[in-house]
């Protein structure tokens, strides 16, 4: 038995709760990694779109935008 601020719980219940929390933490870590990877992709796409928009507004920069886009890929 373990003593807590709200009373006592069995050691097995404590272990089950700890295991559940660890699984939830692992799930959150995986979700966080996926979100970061997606953010990196979105940032790259944003840079490519910005270069395209810039090239549409500034005809002289079309060649530069093409080179910048190729560097990102």
Cα gap 10→31, rounded to integer Å: 32
Distance separating alpha carbons of residues 16 and 14, to the nearest angstrom: 5
pLDDT, tens digit (0-9, with 9 covering 90-100), for 1-43 = 556 666 677 888 889 999 999 999 999 999 999 999 999 999 9
**Cα(36)–Cα(31) distance, integer angstroms:** 9
In terms of pTM, does the model score above 0.85?
A: no
Neighbours of 8 (CB within 10 A): 10
Q: What is the pLDDT of residues 42-69, one digit of tens each?
A: 999 999 999 999 988 887 655 555 665 5
48 vs 61: CA distance, rounded Å: 13
């Amino acid at each position: 038995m373990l003593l807590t601020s709200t009373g006592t719980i069995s050691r097995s219940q404590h272990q089950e709760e700890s295991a559940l929390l660890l699984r939830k933490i692992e799930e959150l870590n995986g979700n966080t990694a996926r979100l970061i990877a997606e953010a990196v992709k979105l940032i790259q796409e944003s840079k490519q779109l910005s270069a395209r928009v810039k090239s549409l507004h500034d005809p002289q920069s079309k060649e530069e935008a093409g080179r910048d886009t190729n560097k990102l890929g």
